[in-house]
């Protein structure tokens, strides 16, 4: 990548000089790509709020992607989707796979159903983009990666924030050597509500970003406050330290009791005499050294030009997935990233429950069994 990420989403020439504000002009190169038959298993909240708009945005820019099937278990939702989209809507994933024969599937069912729907899709010959967290057990996540390997198909996990301009920009600055070798990381994520699991549903994004910016983690040591308001989840506030494979170290705090309003997410990455900060998935500040002024990038493109699903990274992620289905290299993620991010969730829980540091990688079966055992004993 040679272009600063903040500029990647905007074709200024089209917007300001060709009067093509929404970048709808015929794009010969994009239109010439092979068409991809795409389906969504789990056409609920995130599918309707993020993926359907992202598909629309890409199609408006001549991306050859055909929506061939939606699956939902909710009859009322199915009726509404049938009326709003001229796409076959199914109640059963296997029936959709048999009848619609998609090349690629987005799996956005509830977390505990991911393994079933991912493996069925892979066995039907489709490539898969599965929502995060990849699963609710490491062994399920491992089965998905093994099934992808056996079927010779892609299975990648949603990591939309990597494709969001501020985090893409931070990674670009690291790749350009602007902070030197990353040596120390500090991060926080406040979810602000507890109807979903803090670590599994929220903090897993932060774990993925930590790996995106500072590489593989070798050990985790966590302390955690048990959930007081919702007994379906283990922890409501967690603080942890990380030791990276590179020798860098870091610390994270994450909370479901703190507010989810600004400031809710911050990442600081220190190198050698220089550092950068990403605030609220909105702005990046580079502090290049003692004798140089800070450089700051923040969103200056009005929302009328840049859609929320582009800013959130869903358009970039989907575009990358579709190109990978066509045989190109993935630009910002690898197939095991979702597994590694979830492994950090499990390691954090184990460390807090053991009151001891946990080394990675984990043995998936042993980690699942220990977590189940310790949680049952706690209950």
Ligand X SMILES: NC(=O)c1ccc[n+]([C@@H]2O[C@H](COP(=O)([O-])OP(=O)(O)OC[C@H]3O[C@@H](n4cnc5c(N)ncnc54)[C@H](O)[C@@H]3O)[C@@H](O)[C@H]2O)c1
**Which residues in this chain contact ligand X in the complex, by CB under 6 A?**
41-47, 71-74, 77, 93, 108-111, 113, 131-132, 158, 160, 201
Q: How far is the CB of 273 from ligand X (least distance, A)?
A: 35
| H helical segments located in the chain | 5-8, 12, 28-31, 45-46, 52-60, 75-84, 93-100, 114-123, 138-151, 165-175, 204-214, 308-311, 314-325, 337-354, 364-378
Partner residues linked to 265 by β-bridges: 189
C-beta neighbour count of 113 within 10 angstroms: 17
Q: How far is CA 111 from the centre of its chain?
A: 14
Q: How far is the CB of 156 from ligand X (least distance, A)?
A: 13
Task: Using CB positions, name the residue nearest to ligand X.
Answer: 44
Estimate the crossing angle of helix 138-151 against helix 337-354, to 10 degrees. 160
Measured distance CA(78)–CA(91) in Å, rounded: 8
Nearer Cβ to ligand X (202/250)? 202
Q: How far is the CB of 6 from ligand X (least distance, A)?
A: 21
Nearer Cβ to ligand X (73/357)? 73
Burial of 323 (0-12, 13-18, 19+ CB in 10 A): middle
Measured distance CA(317)–CA(335) in Å, rounded: 13
Nearer Cβ to ligand X (127/132)? 132
Estimate the crossing angle of helix 114-123 against helix 138-151, to 10 degrees. 10
Nearer Cβ to ligand X (41/128)? 41
Q: How far is the CB of 15 from ligand X (least distance, A)?
A: 27
Q: How far is the CB of 141 from ligand X (least distance, A)?
A: 13
Q: How far is the CB of 199 from ligand X (least distance, A)?
A: 12
Q: How far is the CB of 111 from ligand X (least distance, A)?
A: 5
Nearer Cβ to ligand X (132/234)? 132
Measured distance CA(286)–CA(113) in Å, rounded: 41
Cβ–Cβ under 8 Å, residues 229 and 147: no
Measured distance CA(294)–CA(334) in Å, rounded: 32
Nearer Cβ to ligand X (37/94)? 94
Nearer Cβ to ligand X (45/273)? 45
CA atoms within 13 A on the CB side of 43: 32
Q: How far is the CB of 160 from ligand X (least distance, A)?
A: 5
Nearer Cβ to ligand X (40/185)? 40
């Amino acid at each position: 990548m040679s272009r600063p990420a903040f500029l990647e989403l905007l074709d200024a020439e089209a917007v300001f000089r060709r009067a093509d504000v929404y970048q709808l002009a015929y794009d010969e190169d994009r239109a010439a790509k092979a068409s991809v038959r795409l389906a969504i298993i789990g056409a609920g909240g995130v599918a309707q709020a993020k993926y359907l708009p992202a598909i629309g945005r890409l199609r408006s820019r001549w991306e050859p992607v055909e929506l061939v099937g939606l699956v939902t278990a909710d009859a009322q939702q199915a009726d509404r989707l049938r009326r709003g989209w001229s796409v076959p809507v199914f109640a059963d994933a296997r029936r959709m796979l048999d009848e619609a024969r998609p090349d690629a599937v987005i799996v956005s069912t509830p977390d505990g159903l991911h393994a079933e729907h991912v493996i069925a899709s892979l066995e039907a010959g489709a490539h898969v983009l599965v929502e995060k967290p990849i699963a609710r057990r490491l062994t399920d996540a491992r089965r998905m990666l093994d099934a992808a390997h056996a079927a010779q198909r892609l299975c990648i996990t949603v990591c939309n924030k990597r494709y969001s301009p501020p985090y893409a920009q931070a990674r670009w600055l690291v790749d350009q050597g602007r902070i030197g070798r990353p040596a120390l990381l500090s991060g926080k994520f406040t979810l602000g509500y507890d109807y979903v699991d803090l670590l599994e549903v929220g903090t897993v994004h932060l774990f993925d970003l930590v790996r995106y910016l500072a590489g593989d983690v070798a050990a985790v040591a966590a302390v955690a406050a048990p959930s007081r308001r919702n007994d379906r989840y283990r922890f409501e506030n967690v603080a942890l330290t990380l030791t990276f494979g590179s020798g860098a170290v870091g610390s994270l705090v994450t909370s479901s009791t703190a507010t989810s309003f600004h400031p809710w997410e911050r990442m600081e990455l220190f190198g050698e005499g220089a550092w950068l900060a990403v605030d609220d998935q909105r702005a990046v500040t580079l502090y290049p050294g003692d004798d140089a002024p800070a450089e700051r990038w923040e969103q200056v493109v009005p929302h009328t030009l840049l859609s929320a699903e582009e800013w959130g990274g869903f358009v970039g992620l989907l575009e990358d997935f579709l190109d990978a289905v066509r045989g190109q290299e993935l630009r910002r993620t690898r197939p095991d990233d979702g597994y590694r991010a979830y492994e950090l969730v499990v390691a954090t829980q184990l460390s807090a429950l053991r009151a001891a540091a946990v080394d990675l990688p984990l043995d998936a079966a042993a980690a699942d069994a220990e977590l189940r055992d310790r949680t049952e004993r706690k209950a």
